[in-house]
Every structure is written in C-alpha cells, then in structure tokens.
Chain A
Amino acid sequence: MSTANGLGLDRRSLLKGLGAVLGAQAASQLLGGQNVAVAMAFAQDSAPRQLQLLSERQFKTLAGIADLTIPRTDSPGALDTHSHWFVDNQLKHCFDSEEQAVATVILNKIDTVAQSQWGKAFYQGEQAGQLALLTALEAADGPFSQADTKAFKMLKALVVFGFFTSKVGMTQLLAYDPVPGGFKGSLPYASVGKAYSGGYPF
C-alpha cells in the first residue's frame, strides 16, 4: 500500500513532491501554504469603471443602496469593493432586457419616492432617511408594492453577490480556502469562525 503522498503528509511534503511533477513555480501557485492567496498572485477585481446600463442618476441611487446594505465597518464595504460598478456591468451582460427594466424601474421609483417625500434625490438624502425608505420598501409599506420589494431584492442580492465574490469579500470577510488539501467531514465551527467563501464555482 503506497501512501507516499496521501493525506498523511503535510503540505510542504506534498508541495515538494508536486514540484517534481509540475515544476516548482506551478506547484507553489497551486499549493502556496499559508499565503496561498498571495502566492497565487491573483489580479485585482476586474470590472469596467464606465457605466454600462444605468444612467448617472440611477447609478448614484444604486451606490446609496450598496453603501447602506454593506457599509464599511472595521472591514471594507460594498463601495470599497466597487460592487455598485459590478452590478451595473452584470445587469448589462448577464441579464435580459426584461430583468434590466425591472432594475431600472425600481431605481427610478426609489428616487421618485425620495423626491416626493424629501424634495431631493435619493442620493442627496440623509442616511437615516434613506434607510427608512429602503426599510419600507423591503416591507412593501407605503408607496411600495410586493412587486417593488421583489425587484429591490434582486438588486440587493446582486450587491451582495458583487461584494462576496470580490477579492476582499472572498479572502477577508469569508474563510478563503482554495486548496483545502482534502475533505474533513467534521470540525468545530468555532475553529473556522466564519463561512467559507463557498463551493463551486465560488
């Protein structure tokens, strides 16, 4: 029974063995130990910084939503990771025209309600007012319908998606484990302390 590089060996030994197979550089890229994220020299988040679908005004509304949803705390937030840029790009390239319309219509409605309640644009409002407005939207209260809530949740989920698939989201906010080294069926949650970045493809 050969266990020459079964799970019994530590990562360094595996790296050494694999180096002979793959070449040292490729092996260190695949199995870079503790600093695997750094060793793999990942590029930074790639998303264009030019509006693809939304108008300037809609984009400012979206940015306000993103900031309220995932603010900067002791860690970066949605705006730091350009998640609002991601949402605009994603809507353009991965959604059909009906879905795009759902997104722009709800952004416009949020702005219209803000205008009628405060006499100014959503993005110009105070954060407390913005939060109250979006909370009413999630509850389908006041001027907002169930359909509005559903449309908003689609946008909100996209903000979340953009944030948690950003490099910061995946490698800092979540437990990033690109090369787990095998599967272990049970370990204490506290030993990880947060969710993994996820399964395939994230």
Chain B
Amino acid sequence: MQETIVQSTDDEFDVLIVGSGVTGGWAAKEFCEAGFKTLLIERGRLVEHRKDYPTEGKGPWEYPTRTVAENLLVDQTQAIQKQCYAFNDTSKHFFGNDRDLPYSTEPGTSFSWIRANQLGGKSLLWARQTFRLSDYDLSANAKDGLGIDWPIRYQDLAPWYDYVEKFAGISAAQNNLPQLPDSIAQPAFELTKPELDFQASLAEHFPDKPMVVGRCAHLTEPSKIQLELGRVTCQARSECYRGCSFGAYFSTQSATLPAAARTGNLHIAPNSVVHSLIYDDAKQRVTGVRVVDNDNLSQREYRGKIVFLCASTLGSTQVLLNSTSKRFPNGLANSSGVLGRYLMDHNYNAWASARIPGYEDEYYRGRRPTGIYIPNSHFEPSRYHKAFKRGYAIAGGATRGSWQGMSKQDGFGSDFKQRLTQAGPWQIWMGAQGEMLPRADNQVSLHPNKKDKWGIPQLHFNCQWSDNELNMMQHAAETMHKMLETAGFESIRSQATTAPPGLAIHEIGTARMGNDPKQSVLNKYNQAHDVPNLFVTDGASFCSSGVVNPTLTFMALTARAAHYAIDQVKSGRL
C-alpha cells in the first residue's frame, strides 16, 4: 500500500473525508487523483485487501458450528447485527459490536441499525445490486407533492452514472426501459431456463412488469483500469461477505482505495471516531474535525480546508447534530431545522414463493451474485394504484432445492441418504422492494443524556411505516402471487409482513438536498447551504427513496460533488 497512515498531525489537509465506505472511498479517489492532499478518517480498524479476509475460502466444516454464529456471542454483542441476512460466523467480524453502538427508539417504534465500522465500511458487506434512478424517481416529489423537489434531474446525474460505472464495473443487460435507465455495463449474468420462461410469461400476461436480469457491481469482463488495480472476473463463489481477493466486486478495498493510494496523496487516519466538526464562526467555515481515539479514547483534531462527510446516512447526520456552535445551536448547517428528519428505508415486507414443475434435466453452474428483477410499474402518478402512492420493484430468483430443504422429510437409511444428494425441484422466490414516503415525523435526534463510550450523544430513532407503505406491501404480495399463479407454478405462498424499518439497510434522508435553504440542508451539489466548504454525499442527502438500491447513486452523487468542489477550488471560489 502506498498510503500514509496518520495518527497525530498538525498538517492542514486540502480535504478531510469522514468515512471510508462506498462514498468515502469515491471521494478519496477523486480528490487524490486531482492532486489534493487527502485525509481519509475512519472510525474503525484498518482492513487490508486480501490480507484481512480471514474467513475467505474456508469450508463450513472448519467451523465447529458450521458457520452458524454462537448464541452467547450473538446475544451479548451482536443481537441487532445478526438480523442482517449477511451475518454469520464467516462475516461477523465485519459487523459492529452492539454493546459499543447503543441507540434508543421511541416507545412503540423499532429500527434495526446495521453497522460496519472498519476501513471499507459496508462496501465489504453490501449486496452489490446497482440500478440508476430515473427521471420519474427524481421528479416524483414535484409531481405528487409528497416531499420537496429534488434539486437535480436525471440529466444532471447521467454523466456521473456513466463515470462511476466505467470504473466500478457493472454487470447488466441493456433493457431500454423508461423507469430503469440502462447502465454502461459489462456482460449480464445469465438467467436460468425456468427464469427465461417466467420472463416470457410475464411479457405476455403482465406487459407493464417486464423482467430483467439483476444488475450488480461484479466484473464479468474487466477493463484495463480494473485489471491494473488487480481486479479480475467474478468466480461466482458467493463468498462476497467474507471479502473477495479477486477484487471481483466493487469495494473500497478492491477499487477506490488502491486508485487513491497510487497517487501518493492519500493519508488514512484509522481508529478515529469523529465526535464533531469544528466550525469557525468568524470565517463561517468548517476548519477541522474533533476525533476520539477508538481504542484509548484520547482526543485529537485534524485540520482541513474542505470537509466531505461520508460517514453513512445516520453517521453523517449524527456528526452534524453533535456539531453545535453559537450560530448553529441545533446542529451544524441546520438553519432549516430539517436535519435528522425525513428518514427513509426501503420496505422489503412482501414476498412470494412457489415450486416450478418440470425442468428436472436443467441445472446451472456457480452461485450468481444477482437474480431476476422486475422494475417498478407504478413509476408516475398516472400509474399509481388507488390504495397507495409510488410503487415497488421485485427481486428474486429460481434455483433447485437441496438437502437443506429436504432435511425434515420422512424416511431413513440409504434411500433417504441418496435422495438428499440429488438436486430437488426448482423453486422460485421473490421479494418486494417498496418506496417509503419522506415524512417529517420519521426522525433521528440526539438523545438528551445518553452517550456512547466515546462520549458522543446516542441517536434516538422515531421511524415507522405509514399506511401507504403497508397498503403497498399487501398489493405487492397479491401481485407476486398472481404472477406465480399465471406462470403455472405450484405450492404458491405469499405474505405481507410488518418488520420495522432498517433491515433493507438502505437508510437515506435526514440531511436532504433542495433548492430552498429553508427546507433543506444541502444544495444541488451536496454542499451545505449554510457552510460552503462542507459537503455530505452519502444517503443522508436523498429527497425521496425511489425503489432502486441506492448505492450506485451514492457513488454518482459523491463523484459529482467532488468534481464540483475541485472546480470551485481551482477557480478560487472555495
């Protein structure tokens, strides 16, 4: 590695970046490549690509509990984190320790806050599904009046989607759908035979619900730039959550960090928990950050000319809320009073499954890192259902069953044993990914007296689904049921559930963009209205959730904001 590890320093950096996940990594790459002396501040430990993936390549039999995490450990330290689908004995070291990361929830509400505090953050654990927002998404608030208008449109983001996709490497097909703009892509993953036939059935019977193959940040035909960074083709191992030494999926470690490091401009301050930002009332600028050491709790400061907050949606908002001054008694850049409000997640509370008869001679090879995807069909007001506003996408896939599904069948002996070694019937599973409306009542605030071990006030959550989200999930479950029925599948099951927000791990909003400084925290370049050298480029900036997985948009917004800041500095305006 060519980066410089920093602990205490009096240097003033050209830019301080708080957080090293997807957005922090992108900001670091862009500033380093522009020649800025960059300090990437990470609250957790260093994780070195390849070297620090200790569970990669291990067979389940090497774990006494065969990769199931132990009760005692989970109950005491990771009871919240274990709710994440990616949590098990092979990945638990990349998740936070609940004991160190307390938060409270308003009585009658619940929120699952999944944490990944190490170099690379959640870029090591994300599910890697990557879709562009459309102009329908970015104009939805303006059209139906639910939430303030986004200050940007698709044409503002499109070149930056192009830019980040070429570097990150996206596997996708070209589908030419108005509600799901195409990506600059490497070859798509293949669909299985039953999926292809289901696709044809949907095209015939549900013409407004076309099925496409999922798009994901996995390399299928790496470009020169990716090969230069040591990234190669996805092997379809499905060990992603352990870290990937092939660099086949996009992470800070595989992609943005090595690109930033090779410029010689990258400095990293690990184990540095940002307490608050330092605001100079006279200069009306942020001048640095106050840090508490992750391990020994000592305090230090880092100074910089520009601050990029990339600490995750809720992490960034927590830092702003805790950065008070004479001018900003309720949190930095919060003259509008909306900081902390309009928290959103995606709603995954509907699913359906079925058995697919036939195809006994069909199989596949590998563990595909994406699935089938049915974009939102309710993407503009004229297409809204009468029971709810906005809409949902559907994701899923068809695979053959295995011993895992047959282990409770009747029978004993060699016949039973033999049966379990064979692939079972084809089965299909689908889940909804619903939009959550931006509502002022859905809010995080600082707890008035509870603090964490670094002396930082805890976040207090008050976030709930509204009837709109609940009605949408009922409709989604019924719709998916009909789709499976029409396709001639069997043993169809479907359900709408009411799990609380948080577990889509798509938390967004709480420091939203907008044209009006009285109603928003950030302008159209993710720059604080109140503090010109402060930018927030993670999910906190979102004005609405849309239905697509947000990470690709995090990347595009970050790269766009970084280039705006770089241009402003170069032209002497910042």
Contacts and interface: CB of A to CB of B under 8 A. Distances in A.
Interface of A: 1-7, 14, 17-18, 21-22, 26, 29-31, 40, 42-48, 68-71, 73, 77, 86, 89-90, 93-96, 131, 134-135, 138-139, 153, 156-157, 160-162, 164-167, 170-171, 173-174, 177-192, 194-196, 198-202
A194 B423 contact: yes
B59 A47 contact: no
Contacts of A164: 403-404, 420
Contact of B57 (A69, A71, A178, A200): A178
Interface in B226-261: 227, 230, 232-239, 241, 245-246
Given A94-B65, A183-B190, A5 B232 contact: yes
A29 to B, nearest CB: 6
A202 B404 contact: yes
Contacts of A47: 64
A29 B62 contact: no
A3 B221 contact: yes
A192 to B, nearest CB: 5
A103 B134 CA distance: 53
Contacts of B414: 71, 73
Given A93-B64, A184-B190, 7 more contacts: A5-B227, A71-B417, A96-B71, A157-B407, A173-B417, A186-B363, A187-B363
B230 A21 contact: yes
B506 interface: no
B365 to A, nearest CB: 4
Given A182-B366, A183-B189, A71 B413 contact: yes
Nearest to A9: B233
Contact of B363 (A68, A189, A198): A189
Contacts of B193: 185-186
Contacts of A90: 65-66, 68
Closest 5 pairs between A and B when the two form their complex, measured CB to CB: A185-B190, A180-B366, A183-B366, A160-B407, A157-B407
A6 B233 contact: yes
Nearest to A68: B412
A190 B363 CA distance: 9
Contacts of B515: none
26 contacts: A6-B233, A22-B50, A26-B245, A40-B59, A43-B62, A47-B64, A68-B413, A69-B412, A77-B417, A94-B71, A157-B407, A160-B407, A165-B67, A170-B59, A178-B59, A178-B237, A179-B235, A182-B220, A184-B364, A186-B192, A189-B361, A195-B421, A198-B404, A200-B239, A200-B367, A201-B67
Nearest to A159: B407
B70 interface: yes
A139 B412 CA distance: 13
B59 A174 contact: no
A174 B88 CA distance: 23
B224 A86 contact: no
A181 B219 CA distance: 12
